[in-house]
Structures are given as structure tokens and as C-alpha cells.
Amino acid sequence: MPWRLKSTDASFATDFQNFLNIKREAQTDLEAVVAEIVGGIVARGDQALFEYTSKFDRVDLTAETVQISPDEIAAAYKTCSPEHLGALQLAATRIRAFHEKQLPENLSYQDQDGVRLGLKWGAVSSVGMYVPGGLASYPSSVLMNAIPAKVAGVKRLVMVVPTPDGEINPLVLAAASIAEVDEIYRVGGAQAVAALAFGTASIKPVDKIVGPGNAYVATAKRQVFGTVGIDMIAGPSEILVVADGQNNPSWIAADLLSQAEHDTSAQAILITDDADFAEAVVQAVDVHLQSLPRSEIAGKSWQDFGAVITVDEMAEAIELIDTIAPEHLELAVEAPEEMAEKISHAGAIFLGRHTPEALGDYIGGPNHVLPTGRSARFSSGLGVLDFMKRTTLLGVTEQSIKAIGPATVTLAEAEGLDAHALSVALRLADGE
């Protein structure tokens, strides 16, 4: 059974904290293993990259075959059904339209002292995008990572995707084509991350790495951070559904399972103010699990990490939501916009009874790459700004330096940085 919590119980605060503290991922120390792989790429480049690919993916590569050619991409595109391609095109159009509205404006003004101030935005020059491989990989993630980068103005977008035993989902290549990815390489794991960060003879280095991966990929991203930028370290998926008794229990149960089916470590939580409705949802989950193809995964996730929290009044949900800081938050209530305004911490919010989270995974438009593990308290989902940098501008004239120069000298001398003070004082003296 999933966790069952009631806000009216005397032990609720303790029980809720215990629930928050459960560990959903096995703590595996991969630092040394990954460090060896990264070090091998740094020292031996392509040779190490091809050796690791042969060892882990059972694919033998050369400098001539490591990159997936335009002809291969075109051939894969042709094998996809018109229905699948149409859905990808619709998703790409909606994702692009939403992210184009995120483009920031430059800033330039002159203050009362005559000092010119401003900032200008520019794109990261090159980005590496990691895509999990095999036939079970997700073309939607290609669109979600690649399109914001292209909207931002990234000139070189490189995709790495492992092809275990030579297998690759043709829809992944079709999505990469639709999203205008510039280069695609058939490598994965920590070795691919290291190749993107440090470069090899076959793969030129990039400036930032984005995209999900397994524990080896996540550890490698941590280790190369600083040499390159990274997006985030993603954990297992999670969903919190806030639903009153006016909902269809079968709908809400399916919404909970939509994330539970990702991984046995995923988490699905229901908060409701209706105890009878809560029971109906639990029963509906059991019914769905009898027919879902991924019922073993979803069922284990629900049993080990799922929760049903019953509150006395729906207003109590606000504090619980902000404490959980969920990756995905569904508000299946009468006035979802009003409730959303009161919430500070959530990766993405889905408004109303007809907005299941699954729409956001594919077609909605906002990004589905979101902060997990309560990190929505301090971070955001992937967006255009993740592929851009801002550079500030400062322009001082002979006249305006007289207004702000003396205070600069004072502060520099107070900090014992006399050359700082001198560089300003000389200009002040020459202007007298």
C-alpha cells in the first residue's frame, strides 16, 4: 500500500517529514569509476571513446563511423509513420512558439550621473545534448532539449546517443532532424559526456551539456562541470495531484500512474480533502494496474513511494505543496488559477481537470525538463535562458566619472587595493 497520511492525525507532522525523507535512489558511489572513464577520454581521446563504446554498448566504431550521417538520418526519417511524424511536427511547433516568447531584451539606459548602463544577451556558442539510447528512448526529450537551444541562437548543437547493439529509435533521429540538430554521434555513457566536455579527434568540445541520463551520466556531468556548464542533475520523476471530490477517480488514478510508470523510483502523490474520493482513486489505480503494459514498474513505484494525503480543508494543501516542491503539480480543483497564484515552489503547474501532466510531456509547449527531488525550491525547468548569457555594459565619461569616481577611490582604499584606487584617481586628477 502507498503511504496514507491525514492532516488531522496527531502524528501528521512527523509522518509527513518521514515521508519526505525517504530515499528513492540507491546510493551508489560511482565517482572513482567515472573519473577513470573521464580520465581515459582526456588522455587517449577517440581510442578510449571507441574502447568504452565497444565494452558497454557492444558497437565497434571508427573515426569514420562514429558520426551518424545525414543519409542515415534521412533513411530513419522515411521509416517513421506519417502519424508519428505529424505528432512530432505539432509538438515541435508548439514547443518552439512557447519558447520564442522567452527571448529576453537587451537593456541600455543613462542614469542621473550621466553613466551609461546596460546589458546584452547572447547565446552559448555550442551545446552538447545527451539522449538516452536504444529502442526505448524518447524523441520528445530531443525536442524539449534542442528547440530552446536553437531558439536561443546556439550555432552548434551536438547530440550524443548510445546505440546498444547497433539499435536506435528512428523517431529519435527524426526528432533531431525536425529540431535542426547539427551533429549526431552514436556514443553514450560517461565517455560521451567526457568527449563533449574535453573533445576528441572526432568530436569537438562544447560549452554546455544538457539532457538526462543514468547514474554514470549524472556523475560524469558533475565531474566535468566547470570545464563546461550543465543544465541540472535530474532524479526520478514525480507528480503531485491536488484533486477535490468533483473529479473522475479513474482520471486522477491514470494521472498518478503516468509518472509511476517511468521508473520504480518515481513518485506519485495525491492530496485531497475528500476521504471517499481518496479511496476511489486508490481502487482505480489497482484497476488500471491490471491492464497497463508497464504495470510492474508502476505498481512498485506506487507501493513503495506513492502517497495519499487527506487534508481537512484544501487550503492546507498550499503549505504541503511548497514543502514537497514537486516536479509536476496538477491542480484538479474548482479554481486552479487562484490556487496556483499562492504556490511558490513547483517545476510545472497543470491547471484544471482537463489538463493531465502527460500533455506537458509532449504537446503542451512548456518544457518537460524539470527540477526533481524538491529542487524546484531553488531552480527552474529548462528554457531559452539556459542557453544564453548576459554581458553587462558600463560607460563613464570625463564628466560622469567625477560623480562616482571619488566613492570608488574611497572603497578601494578601504579594501587595501591601491592600484584599483589609483586607476580611478589618475583619471579624476587629469580631469581637473
Indicate if 31 belongs to the active site: no
- The position carrying cell 484538479 is 332
Give the active site residue among 327, 330, 357, 368: 327
Surface-to-core class of residue 414, CB atoms within 10 Å of its CB (0-12 exposed, 13-18 middle, 19+ buried): exposed
Indicate if 328 belongs to the active site: yes
User: Cell triple for residue 386?
Assistant: 539556459
User: Cell triple for residue 257?
Assistant: 500512474
Max CA-CA distance within the chain?
Answer: 86
Give the active site residue among 328, 330, 357, 368: 328
Angle, in degrees to the nearest 10, between helices 189-198 and 31-44? 50
Contact between 168 and 161 under an 8 Å Cβ cutoff? The reply is yes
Among 201, 22, 163, 127, smallest CA distance to 386 is for 127
The set of catalytic residues is 327-328
